[in-house]
Amino acid sequence: MILEAETLVVGCGNILFQDDGFGPRVAQELSKYELPPDIRVIDAGTGAPHLIFTLLDETCKKLIILDCISWGAAPGTLRKFSVDELPKGKFVDAHNWTLSEPLHGLKDKIDIVVIGCQPARVSEPDIVMELTPEVEQAIPGAIEMVMEELGIDYGTVRQAEEPIRRSAQGGA
């Protein structure tokens, strides 16, 4: 499967570990909006690195990554990161920032934005499927940041009653 879309919005994280599920949860909420057909929203779960490496094709011009990222801010704080703010390193996963290595390799071909949310608690190895209240409250702000990146007026975008079918569902 090749991801053919001009813009991909990718939610990263594991819904089993509390605030680590921030990215998939925002992707789930975004799938309820009627977005232009050249935009695809994906809940990539923990498989985002594989999507980034193997499923992008030349139609992709912009990649928006949603993930919980710890940088010492107050829980629920949102921040936009550029790839150049991410340290280069060996690939491990999105939470250790070493996902930045493939992103650095793609940044000259694709416009990449990472929207991070400071977690209050990542419960790993304990399974907790609910976000903390601080991160739950950050979701509308994250959606607004994505809409801004997409050039869509958040106040006018229509929300469907059911998720839009063109949004892919992935998972951990």
Residue 168 has pLDDT above 60, yes or no: no
Whole-number Å distance between alpha carbons of 76 and 74: 6
pLDDT > 90? residue 136: yes
Choice between 82 and 158, residue whose per-residue pLDDT is larger: 82
Each residue of 56-93: b (16+ CB within 10 Å) or e?
A: beeebebbbbbbbbeeeeebbbbeebebeebeeeeeee
DSSP string, 48-114: HHHIIIIIB-TT--EEEEEEE--SSS-TT-EEEEEGGGSPP-----GGGTTTHHHHHHHTTTSEEEE
What DSSP state is assigned to residue 135?
H
- The yes-or-no verdict on residue 169 having pLDDT over 50 is no
pLDDT at 156 over 80: no
Which amino acid appears at position 158 of this protein?
A: R
**pLDDT of the residue at 91:** 42
- What gap in Å lies between CA 21 and CA 128, rounded to an integer? 10
- The average pLDDT across 3-11 equals 86
pLDDT band at 163 (very low <50, low <70, confident <90, very high): low
Task: Sketch out the chain's domains with CATH numbers.
Answer: 7-150 (3.40.50.1450)
Q: Above pLDDT 70, what percent of the chain?
A: 77
Q: Examine the pLDDT at 114 and tell me if it is beyond 50.
A: yes
What is the pTM for the complete model shown? 0.82
Q: Residue 101 has what pLDDT?
A: 67
pLDDT, averaged across the chain = 82
Say which residue, 41 or 56, is predicted with more confidence: 41
